[in-house]
Structure 1
Amino acid sequence: MKQILPNLFLLLLISFTSVNAQTTLISGIINDQNGDPLPGAVIYEKTNPSHGTAADFEGQFQIEVKENTTLVVRLMGFQEQEVVATQNMKVSLKEDATELEAIEIVGSRSQNRTVTETPVAIDVINLEEVTAATGQLDMNQLLQYVAPSFNANRQSGADGADHVDPATLRGLGPDQTLVLINGKRRHQSSLVNLYGTRGRGNTGTDLNAIPMAAIERIEILRDGASAQYGSDAIAGVINIVLKKNSEGVNVNLGTGVTSEGDGATANVDVNYGTKLGNDGGYLNLTGQYQFRDRTNRVPENQEVFRNYVGDALAQSGGAFFNAGLPLSENTEIYAFGGANYRHGESYAWTRTADDDRNVPGIFPDGFDPNIISDITDFSISAGVKTNYKDWKIDFNNTFGHNEFKYSLNNTVNASMGMLSPTSFYAGKHYLSQNVTGVDVSKYYDGILEGMNIAFGSEFRIDTYGIGAGEYDSYAQYPNGTGGASEGAPGGSQGFPGFRPENVVNAHRTNVALYLDIETDITEKWMVAVAGRYENYSDFGSTLNGKIATRYEFSPAFAMRGSVSTGFRAPSLAQKHYSSTFTDVEGGVTIDKVIAPNDSELAKALGIPELTQEKALNASLGFTLNPLEGLSLTVDGYYVAIDDRIVLTGAFTDDDPDIGDDLKDLNVGAAQFFTNALDTRTYGVDIVLAYTYQMDLHNFTASVAGNFNHMELGEINTNDKLEGKEDIYFGEREQMFLLASAPRSKFNFSLSHNYKKLSSMIRLNRYSSVELMDWDGNIDHYDPRITTDIAITYAVNPKVSWTLGGNNIFNVYPTKQDPLATESGGYHDAVQMGFNGAYFYTKLGFAF
């Protein structure tokens, strides 16, 4: 079966099907108001957005449709236009710079600049096109395959991280990438990553809380942007742009399963658009339900450490909206936001029948603790835009909240013996953020060749808290309670509850002012300068700057580059998080404590107070369009981060400084957040794309790659920690940090459209990865290539069917010793994950 399915998909990929003879090949050209061609303009059927094409380098296009079909023509920076399909069409698009709803691309606040004219690297991902040719249900996994500089893998047995994938941009921390929605700051997750192969000690943004059906496009700014958008944008910015379409209903149904027969998925999403008023108002609503069953890749014939190794069970439901209503010709009110609820269940490490953490009278055969995460995430953003004497003013307030509640079943508190319940509420953590801001900009076409000035201010309030679990979830009962064995450990096995001493409700305020100026010195040379001042209530002030430039030697070739500084204050979670948790090191179960840096434990070791991270970014690259339909961008980058915040290794109860204190707490080890070291990251992003049209055939080929190399500086310690560098941040922890991204990652994709049939094949190549296991050995993961395919058939303009597969040849990472890996399985969460092949089908309906 495993060989038949891939061969069947490849056969379908190169086959074609007949089309209704009523359709006609329509040709046309798209220009701007000056008659210049507009390459890249998108043309699609209004009633079937998945059926479309793009203009070539000369602005020309061909599309197979019925005559008199209504087509939509779009290009960022220009007003959208609807036209009726006729032969030899000529479409002239008007610039959008003078409109209230002008499109602004992340990385430039000038509304007179398209994505190809920016001085820094920006990826624009059209979600409708991408999701039509992939089976990925969540955004993290989708971006993992379409954006080479983006990396995210699912963890296993990593508590909350089983349900929120730690994601990185250019191998930097999850908390060093800023996420925006419609250009407004998105709140982070309240989860602190404690396990897994990347993002340890970091808090990232839960991208999966946003329904993909609500998104029009994703813009990824691959450059330091602290001076433009906020001090934590060291690695770059991800801007999620929501849909505004105001007509029709789109429904998508999908399901899939791995080649092993597990990990079944189901997805239903509905997107509805309607007009508000008669002057261009809109309301777009999206609802989504998703289900993902467990996978299990437990090694065969191993000593039983884990009965389950693989993806956790997860089901979620959510809704998002995006709305705008003009009040006058120059003023509009708008709002967007939504809510998501996710229920997840993940198995912790197995407790065997003779384990001192088991109560044989309750579980005579041992047990697998089931950790249940209930995640609530919601946000609301509202504002007013106005145009006053050509000054564009945007006043906005955005509020977001994320909360994790933990409970367990199929577990015990061993110190309670036969009196122990088998289910516990283990507590919660939460994060809230409120941002009030005003942005002002104006474009001057009479200064040099054009100048855009933008300035604004933000006031932000952040809140982070921890709530205690029920008493039995963390309690240590006296010896002999309920017939328990002497010294039996307390707390709910798998995830001990948060204790009263962990409870915290911390706040922080931040005030920011920025100035952003872009100037076209000549028609070929532009320069952008930005500066941003921020003041944190608990970390003082910072001033960051950026200068970027682009020079166009010819319409086919341009150079671009930038230099900027960055600053990231420790997150409230890093500053205030504390807990007692259970870890398994090479099969040995140990309770650990994470202590804040102002605790007595931290002071006893001389762990210093957290301070800010400081960054320097530099990039240099070029864009090249040597032939019609062919484009190449190459961007090199350098990111230096000083005083990087990480989670230390474990100081154990035999440590001469804190050993007795740990024994008093009945835990075996302690970890801390600390500014451990400086890092230097070098890399190159390469994107090559070619589009070719021949009669009714449209071909698109692309190669997107990332080379990434990180160097670590000396470990920053003090006199009291001298000689403990291998514990403070030893080689094992260093290798996990270095493995935040493969040394190289390439995607090659080829798509083909012919009448009603479209097909795609994509090869993903990952370089080797090295980690250190619990035995101190180097686990070497060899390079791997995976293959994805998809075929979509438009049954009619309103119904489409997709059949596809990811990793169709069932490729797995290199096998390791499961007794020593982080996951307890043959593989850790590296490269493409370890679930093997996944096959899916989807139906799309438009009304």
Structure 2
Amino acid sequence: MKMKNRKAIAARSAVALSLAVTHFAHGQEAPAAPASAAPAKDDASAPVQQVVMTGSRIARRDTETSGPMLTLTKDDLKFAAPTSLGDIMQSLPNTGVSLNSNGTQGTSYGVSSINLRYLGSAEGSGNRTLVLVDGHRWVNAAGGRGFRDFPDLNTIPLGIIDSVEVLKDGASAIYGADAIAGVVNIHTKRKLEGFEANMRLGTSSRNDDENYNGFLNWGKRFDKGSVFLSGSMNDSRPILSADRDLTKVALSPLTAPGTSPQGLYVLPGLSNNAYFGTPAGFASNAANAVTRNMGVTSIGASYTADNSFHTAALPGDYYNQQTQGLYATGPSKTAGLFGRLTYEITPDLTAHVEATYTTRQSSQLFSPYLLDIRGSNGYSISRDQAYNPFGTANGVPAANALGFSGSTFRIQRVPVEVGNREVLQDVKMSRLLLGLEGTVSLWGDWNWDATLSYSKNKASFDQKNGINFDNLYRAMTSPATCSAASGCVPIDLFGTITPAMADYIRSYSHDINGTSQTDFSLNATRSLMQLQGGALGIATGYEYRRETAYDSPDPFASQASTVLPLVSGAAQSTTSAAARNPTAGSYYLNEAYAELSAPLLANLPWVQKLELDAAVRYSRYSTVGGKATTKLGILYRPFNSLLLRGTYSQGFRAPSILELYQGVKQTNFPAVDPCNGGGAGLPGCAGIPTSYNQSLYNSGIPHGVTSGNADLKPESADTYSVGFTYAPEQLKGFSMTVDQFKIKIKDAIASQTATQILNACAQTGTFCNLVQRANTGEIVQLTQALVNLSRIEVQGVDVTLRYLFPVAGAKIDAALDLAYLQHYKSYVPQPDGSIAVDERAGKSDQPRSTFPHLKAQASLRYIGSSITAGWKARYIGATADVPNNAVNGGNVAGTLYHDLQLSYNFSDGKTSIGMGIDNVFDKQPPASAANNPINFDMYTYDVRGRYFYTRVNTRF
């Protein structure tokens, strides 16, 4: 698009809002007047204070910008008393599903993300939201099953945060890639003198999810500089899924006996066997598999062996795997150290150095690995295996002894003796930053800054109590074969698994992964000339950045087995740890930008202020080449009470290292299979038997693989926003902001969810090549690969109302913030060349993907000299679940949470104590069929229930 056309679009779109800084979680002290308030009259005798707001690099005298922005002040943060930055950021109505809670049924593995406008490229991902700290990029996350391509908010110490600005607008031309959905800029503390201490303690009404967090800061200002030191810690305890009614049992009904510690056995040859006296069909196929009788510890000898088994049937053989100690919310410990030294070298040159070091230990707990031993995978039990109850070792004559093999042979068992699986992360992040800033006279007076930073994130990922398939295979063989293998211990799959047996088949794996970032930036800004409305400002700069990442999975767990037989010519995995190929990659880029802010007119009839902003940035990546992006904004205040503004911006995001180079990785996909029970005539379910029950295979969670795609192209975006702010002079303290936005992402880098792939295959027959099934209907492998989708379009409206007014020597602060999601459409190319449109707005029919049309947050606060009291409510609108399901009939109800806070400020003005109750009415998340077996979307709702906390802040 030519520049003049872009300007025309911007001009036509130029209606916008003025409340650049809005509050909906309000601070202990009376907050500063919002940007929508009438600007103060110029005072020639007063010093001019310039500020730099997120979304612009040009210093200005006011906080009005052409893009919609929200600010959380230090008082907002103190009053909310969060345990981490993610806590408060993820509650914003403009935030979509974001990684949090560290629960067993999620994929966060202790990472916390921010996903503005729901535009993360995968569930909970934040890779289209740019996270800055004091205007500089933060390193990408590590510590999951591999590295991430977005920052982990848990690596930003809570004690250093002074305020947070959220620009809800594209800003690639200002800050570079990844700013398609918006920008989060964390401002750190800078003016502390002496000590500042904070401590918070909390627990749920069920005496779990205990939390201890706090920080200790010290600052000192001296003649030519200052020092700031901070130490932070956070310790959050778990919530067991068994301790919440919603999560203790999978709500999707079980239609056939599931796997239990008693085992589920299909044993060819035992059916209608005269020697053992078994009836016809006994243990001959999955429909009449047998299980051990309850309480049996030793199976009968010789021909009585079958007396210890019966045909499995519901309800008598029901077993709930959810009771095995799974975490609904997992434990996490974080700690952080931060230091800054600032020194004035000359009156025109100041230097500063910053160092950050953070650690995190988090874990997840899974039920024991479900043993699923199949003859079709080459497993067998010899007739003389030490613990075969139907073999010679149990006194059965050789002529009657049975060995088991072949395609129908199958043993399923929950090996509780091996123990619950535990996954642990140990993450260490370090960052060093050197900076210079000053002024220089070069064709005018310039303010400039130069910054060089190096950051690295490294992590270990340990998995305990898995299964060593090689050893399991050996333990099932004949005595002669087992004894020939060093350390082999025969296993009793039909009776008691002893500690020695459990030790032999138990596996442990150790992965390491990490990321690093080197970033150099040089920025300069000055006033070029005086226009009628003020000074024409310019900012320009250069940035070099290099990103690297690696993922080194456990060598044994990821290698192909040389012990197990090949299956369809392919090698099998050695352990139950999800195998994946190593990943390593890097890229670098050079960028240059220029920005203009032109206050064209001011203080004229019907033109109190008219300003035009423009920016252009050129980015050249070592992986995908170069791209220029532009941004245009207009701000118009016809009279004091009304401000209109609008922006048009282009976005650009190159594929990340993860998206380009991620090795093939095995995983499990929570998904609802429409072919369950045969698919009721759906075209893509042809041939699937009606006896197919998804829940009988891997607890109903299909196996699959994901991978990167080295052929990905960069994605680009066009963002439009238009809105207004109205602050009537007749109602002082009141303001109303309305914003409409539309974002179009072309060549969007994304993958279809497992549910989308299964639905497309079942209903239209497309993408069935990505779904491999066994004759039983079981999904053997589902392939999820990254591609450049046709496009993504998201559209919505934001509304903010605020009223701040005095009453009886105090103040009342009321606010309402609404986010309405009109559309979220993915345009997906089909194999036949057509384009399928998937509208997500208003739906929650996929795991961990809730897209309500309406989200809102409201607050009412009383701010007195000694007492501050407040109420806050958060609303998540109703959504459509899997149609006609047995859990909720197909509809997820709207949810409203209420919080109360009370604090007391001591007369010295330095100490305050507070207490609060979150979720006062103990509202549990709405039940969801799409999120079986945890039964709710853990990235949207809070399962902890009513929560009490107390906090203390002091300065000395």
TM range (shorter): 0.7 to 0.9
Read off the aligned partner of 1:273 and give its amino acid letter.
Answer: G
CA 1:146–1:675: 2 relative to 1, 3 Å: closer
If the length of structure 1 is used for normalisation, what is the TM-score? 0.79
In the alignment, does 2:596 pair up with 1:517? yes
Q: Which amino acid aligns with 1:676?
A: L
Correspondence for 2:727: 625
Structure 1 equivalent of residue 352 of structure 2: 334
1:574-622 per-residue CA deviation (whole Å, 9 max, x = no partner) reads 1111243341656432543223335xxxxxxxxxx21111100001111
In the alignment, which residue of structure 2 is the partner of 1:63? none
1:779 to partner: Cα distance:
4.8
Distance apart, 1:740 and its partner CA = 5.6
Task: Report what 1:595 is aligned to.
Answer: 707
* 3-state DSSP of counterpart to 1:522: strand
- 1:616 aligned partner: 718
- Find the counterpart in structure 2 of residue 701 from structure 1: 814
Instruction: Kindly report which structure 2 residues correspond to 1:798-817, keeping only aligned pairs within 5 A, or say none.
Output: 798-817=910-929
Matched position secondary structure for 1:107: coil
Q: Contact 2:881/2:928 (CA < 8 Å) preserved in 1? A: no
Residues 742 and 831 in structure 1, CA contact (< 8 A), matched pair in contact too = no
Aligned to 2:749: 645
Is the Cα contact below 8 Å between 1:251 and 1:844 reproduced in 2?
yes
Structure 2 counterpart of 1:343: 361
Q: Deviations over 1:497-525 (max 9, x none)?
A: 54xxx223211111111110000001110
Which letter maps to 1:335? Answer: V
Aligned counterparts, 1:57-456, within 5 A: 94-97=47-50, 103-115=51-63, 117-127=64-74, 129-146=75-92, 148-149=94-95, 152=98, 153-154=100-101, 156-158=103-105, 161-173=108-120, 174-190=126-142, 203-275=149-221, 277-279=222-224, 281-298=225-242, 299-300=247-248, 303-306=319-322, 307=324, 308-351=326-369, 363-365=415-417, 367-389=419-441, 390-417=445-472, 418=501, 420=504, 422=506, 424-444=508-528, 446-448=530-532, 449-456=534-541
**One-letter amino acid of the counterpart of residue 329, structure 2:** D
Q: Distance in 2 between matches of 1:124 and 1:40?
A: 5
Q: Distance in 1 between matches of 2:941 and 2:877?
A: 11
Q: Secondary structure of the residue that 2:917 maps to in structure 1?
A: strand
CA–CA distance in structure 1, aligned partners of residues 428 and 816 of structure 2 = 38
- Tell whether the 8 Å contact from 2:541 to 2:592 is kept in structure 1 after alignment: yes
In structure 2, the partner of 1:52 is 29
Amino acid at match of 1:222: K
Paired residues in the alignment total: 737
Identity score, percent: 21
User: What are the equivalent positions in structure 2 for 1:709-724 lying under 5 Å apart?
Assistant: 709-718=822-831
What's the CA shift string for 1:524-581, capped at 9, x where partnerless?
1000010111111110111111110101111221100011111111111111112433
Q: Give, as a single letter, the amino acid of the residue that structure 2 aligns with 1:616.
A: D
- Structure 1's 794 and 76: CA in aligned 2 closer, same or farther, altered over 3 A? farther
Shift of the 150–444 alpha-carbon distance from structure 1 to 2, 3 Å rule, reads farther
Q: Higher mean Cα deviation, 803-812 or 364-373?
A: 364-373
Matches of 2:935 and 2:771, distance apart in 1? 34
- The separation in 2 between residues aligned to 1:41 and 1:678, in whole angstroms, is 32
The equivalent of 1:14 in structure 2 is: none
Change in CA separation of 1:768 and 1:39 when aligned onto 2, cut-off 3 Å: closer
Rate the CA distance shift 1:360–1:480 in 2: closer, same or farther, 3 A. Answer: farther
Instruction: Identify if the C-alpha distance between structure 1 residues 632 and 159 changes in structure 2 by more than 3 Å, giving closer, same or farther.
Output: closer
Q: Secondary structure at the match of 1:416?
A: helix
Measured after TM superposition, the shift of residue 834 of structure 1 is 2.2
In 2 relative to 1, CA 428–459 (structure 1 residues): closer, same or farther, beyond 3 Å?
A: same
Paired residue type of 1:94 = P
CA contact (8 A) 2:159 2:214 kept: no
C-alpha contact (below 8 Å) 1:700/1:750 kept by paired residues: yes
Equivalent in 722, 744, 764 of residue 874 of structure 2:
764
- Residues of 1 paired with 2:41 and 2:179: CA distance? 25
User: Offset at 1:717?
Assistant: 4.2
* Equivalent residues of 1:202, 1:574 under 8 A apart: no
- SS of the residue corresponding to residue 415 of structure 1 reads helix
| SS of residue matched to 1:53 | coil
Q: Are residue 542 (structure 1) and residue 638 (structure 2) matched?
A: no
| 2:894 equivalent to 1:787 | no
For 1:811, what is the secondary structure of its paired residue? coil
Cα distance 1:460–1:610, how it changes in 2: closer, same or farther (>3 A)? same
Pair 1:837-2:919 in alignment:
no
Instruction: State the shift of 1:761 in Å.
Output: 0.6
4+ long deviations beyond 6 Å = 38-42, 57-60, 75-78, 191-194, 353-362, 651-663, 722-726, 728-734, 773-778
The residue that corresponds to 2:660 in the other structure is 575
Amino acid at match of 1:374: D
Contact 2:796 2:821 (C-alpha < 8 Å) held by counterparts = yes
Deviation of the 1:734 alpha carbon:
9.7
Alignment of 1:435-514 (within 5 A): 435-444=519-528, 446-448=530-532, 449-472=534-557, 476=561, 478-479=563-564, 490-493=573-576, 495-496=577-578, 498=580, 502-514=581-593
C-alpha contact (below 8 Å) 1:739/1:770 kept by paired residues: no
* Contact 1:662/1:669 (<8 A) preserved: no
Counterpart residue type for residue 353 of structure 2: A
What's the CA shift for 1:134? 2.3
Report the Cα distance in structure 2 between the residues aligned to 1:426 and 1:77, rounded to whole angstroms.
Answer: 64
Matches within 5 A, 1:524-535: 524-535=609-620
Aligned-partner Cα distance in 2 for 1:741–1:187? 28
**Residue type matched to 1:628 in 2?**
K
1:359–1:414 contact (8 Å) kept in structure 2: no
Greater percentage in strand: 1
Provide the rounded CA distance (Å) in 1 between the counterparts of 2:633 and 2:111: 34
Unpaired runs of 5+ residues, structure 2, are 1-18, 121-125, 251-318, 380-409, 473-500, 603-608, 671-693
Greater displacement, 738-747 / 385-394: 738-747
Residue 126 of structure 1 and its aligned partner are, at CA, apart by 0.8
- Per mean C-alpha deviation after superposition, the further-off stretch among 587-596 and 392-401 is 587-596
For structure 1, the 5+ residue unaligned runs are 1-37, 43-48, 61-74, 79-89, 98-102, 195-200, 482-486, 599-608
Check the 8 A contact 2:770/2:782 in 1, yes or no: no
Distance 2:129 2:613 in 1: 21
Q: Secondary structure at the match of 1:810?
A: coil
Distance, in Å, in 1 between the alignment partners of 2:834 and 2:575 is 36
Deviations 1:701-723 (A, max 9, x none): 1111111133424312456xx79
Give the whole-Å Cα distance in 2 for the aligned partners of 1:165 and 1:148.
16
**In structure 2, C-alpha distance between the alignment counterparts of 1:305 and 1:473, rounded to whole Å:** 27
The two structures, once aligned, show a CA RMSD in angstroms of 4.1
SS at match of 2:80: coil
> How far did residue 736 of structure 1 move?
4.5
The Cα shift of 1:321 comes to 2.5
Kept after mapping to 1: 8 A contact 2:192/2:228:
yes
What residue in structure 2 maps to residue 11 of structure 1?
A: none
Deviation (angstroms), 1:730: 12
Please state if 1:744 is matched with 2:854: yes
**Contact 1:424/1:473 (<8 A) preserved:** no
Task: Give 3-state SS (helix, strand or coil) of 1:446's partner.
Answer: strand
Deviations along 1:81-117, one digit per CA (max 9) or x if unpaired, are xxxxxxxxx99863223xxxxx3111122212422x2
User: Helix, strand or coil for the counterpart of 1:410?
Assistant: strand
Distance 1:695 1:840 in 2: 29
State the shift of 1:790 in Å: 0.8
**C-alpha distance in structure 2 between counterparts of 1:427 and 1:92, whole Å:** 63
